[in-house]
Amino acid sequence: MSHREALQDFVRTKVKATRVVVVSNRQPYMHTYEGDRIIWRRPAGGVVVALDPVLRVAKGCWVAAGQTEADRNVTDEDGRVRVPPEDPQYSLRRVWLAKEQEEGYYNGFSNEVLWPLCHTAFTRPIFRAADWQHYQGVNRLFADAALKEAGPGRALIWTQDYHLALCPQLLKAARPDLSVAHFWHIPWPNPEVFRICPWRRELLEGLLGSDLLGFHIRYHCDNFLATVANELEAKIITDQSAVQYRGRTTLVRPFPISIDYHRIVQDLDSPEVVEETRRIERLLGGRPEFLAVGVDRIDYTKGIVERLQAIDRFLERYPRYLGRFVYLGVGAPSRIHLPAYRQLRGEIAQQVEEINWKYGTETWQPVVLFDQQVSYPRVLAYLAMADVCLVTALHDGMNLVAKEFIATQQGEEPGVLILSRFTGANRELTEALPINPYDIEGSAEAIRQGLEMPREERVRRCRWLQEQIRDHDIYRWALEMLTELRRVRRGRL
């Protein structure tokens, strides 16, 4: 039985008497206008891939923020619409946020406080009392919508990420009988860092409303437990990795998130990916002799500046690659309203220009950068073509691109993954070439080593990594979380 079937089987047999509600900031389906016609799409992302099949089987509900006018126009007066639109199986309940709520809760508190606070990337959080007020208010909105959807009987509410840290506690306070799980998709910092947050106690208490709290790796769990020990009068049960606080117990466990490995392998042969591959080759004027690829949201945690510095150093140190090596970078712009992100985009553009000016010729540019969102088939095409994939994050909860790259390397000449030690993925993907992205010389050397690695070694490492990811795919992640939740709830899910 595949992990996907095992997950569906678990939901069908073990969760059958329970209403399942998933809560996340980002919605699994989005509607938009194309002319006067309403079309829909499924935003890319691991969580949607894993939880959509759970809800399809459970016939549950997903609560998320609506975004567009079309989103509003397809929903009923409670904000509900049946999805997937082509074959309705469960409801999506959209929560509507006013402009200033979005500004304070999303841009402000989530992305200018929690994001920099939890990533060691040396960007200072900006604490504003007004953003905190909005964060609290919006978390209440999500929790209220989830409670309505839970109905009066047995229910499991699965909340996601750093946008919704207060939800678990709000849910439990209203309904102590609910099963509540929360997954935190980014790192958890050490207590020294977290203690600068003026609202640290409230955030911790919010998360401790969960029965089960998941992080990607053990290290983040340990940091969380140490933070709780420092900040709250709570009992830490170390051997069970649990916290007892105000008469409740929260289990804290690692669940490394992953990808839909089989689907990626299958999609590689689709006409869309084949067409995109041709298009990219045309754009580059043929396939370069040595191709390095990077795919990221443009974010200061992804180490894009450091990656470009390493490429510069690599070309300086190994001039034999001049005219033969190309770095193709795809950077989807994100959080563009925030000054730190606008500044980063400018910095990257300038760096690319300098490198191309320094080494480029009339017929060859070493760096080609697309700073726009591209389609999923295009991402697969880029990754599949690469001789090396550069994942240089300064700090990353997991990093799915690393896993996606490995899944795309199905041919007889697999490429090499260069992977930052500061990603969660580094713990599992031990046959990648590890780097410290701050060490520019070391990264430049890793690029050379990756490009010159003998075929036999590339094949051995890649097949090992593929087996690892195939065995630990996104469905297993969801199944393990549900199984653990059922265990802590003593079978009462």
**Contact positions vs ligand GDG (CB under 6 A):** 44, 46, 185-186, 257, 295, 297, 330, 332, 373-376, 379, 396-401, 404
Give the pair of three-digit tokens for residue 303: 């180490």
Residue 147 vs 295, nearer CB to ligand GDG: 295
Residue 302 vs 486, nearer CB to ligand GDG: 302
Non-local CB neighbours of 296 within 8 Å, separated by 6+ positions: 302, 304, 330, 331, 332, 393, 401
Residue 306 vs 396, nearer CB to ligand GDG: 396
Q: Shortest distance, CB of residue 303 to ligand GDG, whole angstroms?
A: 12
With tokens 């002319």, the residue in question is 35
Q: Shortest distance, CB of residue 252 to ligand GDG, whole angstroms?
A: 17
Q: Shortest distance, CB of residue 216 to ligand GDG, whole angstroms?
A: 7
Taking the C-alpha atoms of residue 334 and residue 344, their distance in angstroms, rounded to an integer, is 11
Whether the CB-CB separation of 60 and 22 falls below 8 Å is answered with yes
Taking the C-alpha atoms of residue 334 and residue 328, their distance in angstroms, rounded to an integer, is 19
DSSP 33-71: EETTEEEEE----HHHHHHHHHHHHHT-EEEEE--SHHH
Residue 306 vs 404, nearer CB to ligand GDG: 404
Taking the C-alpha atoms of residue 52 and residue 143, their distance in angstroms, rounded to an integer, is 20
Q: Shortest distance, CB of residue 236 to ligand GDG, whole angstroms?
A: 25
Q: Shortest distance, CB of residue 376 to ligand GDG, whole angstroms?
A: 4
Give the pair of three-digit tokens for residue 345: 């985009």
Say which DSSP state 396 is in. B
Whether the CB-CB separation of 22 and 62 falls below 8 Å is answered with yes
Q: Which amino acid is at 40?
A: W
DSSP 88-136: --EEEEEE---HHHIIIIIIIIIIIIIHHHHS-SS------HHHHHHHH
- For 342, the enclosing helix (H) or strand (E) is helix 339-359
Q: Shortest distance, CB of residue 199 to ligand GDG, whole angstroms?
A: 22
Residue 297, helix vs strand vs coil: strand
Q: Shortest distance, CB of residue 48 to ligand GDG, whole angstroms?
A: 10
Taking the C-alpha atoms of residue 170 and residue 141, their distance in angstroms, rounded to an integer, is 10
Residue 230 vs 436, nearer CB to ligand GDG: 436
Residue 125 vs 323, nearer CB to ligand GDG: 125
Q: Shortest distance, CB of residue 420 to ligand GDG, whole angstroms?
A: 11
Residue 178 vs 400, nearer CB to ligand GDG: 400
Whether the CB-CB separation of 62 and 92 falls below 8 Å is answered with yes
Backbone angles phi, psi at 429, to 5 degrees: -90, 65
Q: Shortest distance, CB of residue 373 to ligand GDG, whole angstroms?
A: 4
Residue 396 vs 431, nearer CB to ligand GDG: 396
| 449 CA to centre of own chain | 28
Q: Shortest distance, CB of residue 379 to ligand GDG, whole angstroms?
A: 5
Residue 400 vs 429, nearer CB to ligand GDG: 400
Residue 91 vs 160, nearer CB to ligand GDG: 160
Taking the C-alpha atoms of residue 164 and residue 139, their distance in angstroms, rounded to an integer, is 6
